[in-house]
Chains A and B, each alone.
Chain A
Amino acid sequence: MSILDWVVLVCTLGGIVAFGMYKTAATKSMEGYFLSNRSLPWYLVLLSIMGTQASAITFLSAPGQAYTDGMRFVQYYFGLPLAMVVLCISFVPLYHRLKVFTAYEFLEQRFDAKTRTFASVLFLLSRGLSTGVSIYAPSIILSSLLGWDIFYTNLVMGSLLVVYTINGGAKAVAYTQQIQMVIILGGMLAVGYYLVHLLPEGIGFTDALKLGGVNGKLNIITTGFTEKGFDWKDRYNIVSGIVGGFFLALSYFGTDQSQVGRYLTAKNVTQSRIGLLMNGLVKIPMQFLILLVGVLLFNYYQFTKAPIFFNTTLAASIHNKADKAICEGLEQQYNTLLEGQSSLSRAYLSQPTDTIAKAAMLERAAQIKNVQIQYRAAIKKALPHADTNDTNYIFLRFVVDYLPKGLVGLLIAIIFMSAWGSIAAALNSLASCTMIDVHKRLFTYTTEEGLMEARCMKDYRISRYYTLGWGVFCIITAELSSGLGSLIEAVNIMGSLFYGVILGVFLVAFYVKRVGGTAVFIAAIASELLVITLFTLDKYDVIGLGFLWLNVVGAVSVVVLGLLCSFVVNEQKRLA
């Protein structure tokens, strides 16, 4: 990186931390610290929701995903607007009416303490570990491409945001996310514009779409149906996107405290609702544009030499191994194939109806892809523990190699800021859940008038310590993740294993009044076992089931089993 890039990076990140510290001194009470005194307008709620959901990996991997697999990933978000509507009808008014700090408080009022504990412990466990991984995942990519030490990259990625999150709580999280989202979206638009600008003379934006389309990158809508019927293992199609995506979004936004804590900061139900509904309106177009950057990137590399493997540091390390000759042979073959690629693409664009030109271009693309697959296999053979999926490196490789000075620093800052937005919200929610659902239940105070102020200050101080504690925990998790590649996969899977069941518990709480605490608890345990069994069967190829469907199975199973158990278990109902 150039000096200008370093200046832009340090100034942007330093500015965010300073802004977070200056603008957002929290009211010294738990309501001020965790919920910003329930005072924020809808646009801050919207940006906070979006900033929490969009992690660094979202911006790193989405363009790479479109580059390799096309834009069909956008279907993953089709269930989100529907989930926003259901949340606004059912969840939001109730959370506001009960004046809860955490979603899990509601479960004790509706069911009992054990159900609340079950949900909050699952949240603390999964969110704590996944936040550690969301520090590590972008750090390993940055450190690999830029040659930074992973220990210090993790430290910077995970620690600077802790400074303002401890100080300002939920208000700091929301205000910094506002700035972060504006810079992130501005930066991505700048990259999109630059990619169109970089296309060779005579090739316009429409040509880029034509090339992307014929190469299968504009596969935005896919049905998931094959000659053998519906493919349940297919991850992204319109059916799994609407149904599975709906359950996933409902669970994430309705029951995950990192999101619930964002819209509970709104000053009233109306502001929460508008924030969520606006998220339902803008999320899909935003994701579409980010994926379009990946398609433009694909087009750019039709006219410019693309690396055979985008994790160039890993590719370079294999040259010291025994398979050097194989790799060099493949690289030579790859370079030869690339030489004619540009003219084949131009020939197709000048005569789109010419089937021979089209066939020649697609055949060349297939040959190039085949060599890349062989190259990955060679790396895997030489380095069996290496991650040979280079999707997450595609976008950043382009940024480092081709963007002008200054913009590189800004894009690196964007990666940090997108990580900080989601990590800060996670730390705030982990601290609130620990304080409200664990600490306050274990340590009960008397509430005499004269002691109230001192009590508030003590709670506030303890809440800050919990934020710091979770910050340290997540950084340690990130540091331990180095060298344990499978841990990342395990933690990501863990989220999808639990989300559906937790959602099922909340759906029963809202809509199935006859089911009590013991019945829903038994149903949740049995459903969790069912989800884990299905996941294991899928892992060993006994059945084929995309991970989005686990959310549907978990949620539906809790509702059905809860109802069945309610006929057997005799208990007094506690309705909220």
Chain B
Amino acid sequence: MMEDLDKEVPVFASWRGWYVLVIGVLLVLIGLFFWITKFFA
């Protein structure tokens, strides 16, 4: 049953795509915040 539910993944081919997106956005935000901190310090 779980395998069937796992197949229902919107936008990406698998859930791994979503996980990479979430972690990628986190890294981009940290990079952006680091730049803002340095630029305006």
Contact = CB atoms under 8 A, between A and B. Distances in A.
Contact of A81 (B25, B40, B41): B25
A74 B36 CA distance: 13
Contacts of A285: 29
Interface string A198-228: 0000000000011011100011110000000
Contacts of B2: 93, 97, 269
- Chain A CB count within 10 A is highest, among B8, B9, B26, for B26
B22 A277 contact: yes
A82 B37 contact: no
Interface string A425-447: 00000000000000000000000
Contact of B40 (A85, A214, A270): A214
A97 B26 contact: no
B23 interface: yes
A93 B6 contact: yes
A100 to B, nearest CB: 15
A82 B34 CA distance: 19
Interface residues of A, number: 32
Contacts of A144: none
Contacts of B40: 209-210, 212-214, 218
Contacts of A281: 21-22, 25
A218 B23 contact: no
A273 B41 contact: no
B22 A93 contact: no
Given A221-B33, A273-B15, A82 B41 contact: no
Contact of A218 (B10, B26, B37): B37
Interface in B1-41: 1-2, 5-6, 8-10, 15, 18-19, 21-23, 25-26, 29-30, 33-34, 36-37, 39-41
B33 A74 contact: yes
A268 interface: yes
A121 B39 CA distance: 49
A273 B5 CA distance: 11
A260 interface: no
Contacts of A280: 22, 26
A288 B28 CA distance: 14
A85 B19 contact: yes
A97 B22 CA distance: 24
Nearest to A210: B40
A293 interface: no
Given A213-B39, A281-B25, A96 B15 contact: no
Contacts of A210: 40
B10 A270 contact: yes
A82 B36 contact: no
B30 A221 contact: yes
A215 to B, nearest CB: 10
Contacts of B41: 213-214, 218-219
A86 to B, nearest CB: 9
Nearest to A86: B19
Given A82-B26, A277-B21, 12 more contacts: A78-B26, A93-B5, A212-B40, A213-B40, A218-B37, A218-B41, A219-B37, A221-B33, A268-B5, A284-B26, A284-B29, A288-B29
15 contacts: A81-B22, A81-B23, A81-B25, A82-B26, A97-B1, A97-B2, A212-B40, A218-B37, A218-B40, A218-B41, A219-B37, A270-B10, A277-B22, A284-B26, A284-B29
